[in-house]
Structure 1
């Protein structure tokens, strides 16, 4: 094998490895949040006092792939006529650190509240229907039988585990 062929092959393999690495790293970056800082430094300088430090995180919702209709034996209409749409995102997060004027002693200079953005998984409501006819019946000369129509609403789903941390400590 020529050296130019080996170099080309190495470049192609390196490109494929980089693409595979980027594809595996994308889901972690796709779940990210957008930081929202609250600039209070100008007010601190204008008022000549120490103000709380405040910031937040807004998650980016990502729609998922719906679970399509499923054909079930004995039904004329698929099981999920209107499928449920999954949306993954998160609850917004917040960070607050406020100064304390040594009320609890010399070791406590600030109170802090951290509520990080937490994952949120949802499913939109869906619909399931069935026709008032059965599939063709061989005992009835190939004609369908009558039955009661069926309709069902698939309930929406909401799953999350929020968390928060409240603490006291030295320094701001």
Structure 2
């Protein structure tokens, strides 16, 4: 019985991975590779949103993400969120975010992120939002943010509801209930 349940769990897990929505396309700019570009939907009336992505530097010299632009907002800045004595602080990253050679930097909730400011309209789940990133060396790079739910925690969660399990983060199947 246990072997049957394990086999069934594995099949369900594989089916979920295959059926999971695809994340944004990979974008190459010189030695930089940008993947997993996404955002969260914003409530009506919200004037700010966040952008998240992964940047790999496959080159031999550092580059720096210094900001961005988008037709949906008046300003796109690189920000950092941190905790200081139990108080959450958010601030712009002065001088930009360095991506060292051979390293990967992930912009994600509760860390580095794009702050999309003075939104012209709310971000809606299922939309694709064009953003131009500005790098010190790679220059201007166009990407598209896939907009997930308000509570999305990652690109795999795009198109899911808040609280839905991200099966990719449960490789040992411990979160699965039969």
| TM norm structure 1 | 0.32
Structure showing greater Rg: 1
Q: Which has the higher contact order (CA 8 A, sep 6+)?
A: 2
| TM norm structure 2 | 0.31
Higher relative strand content: 2
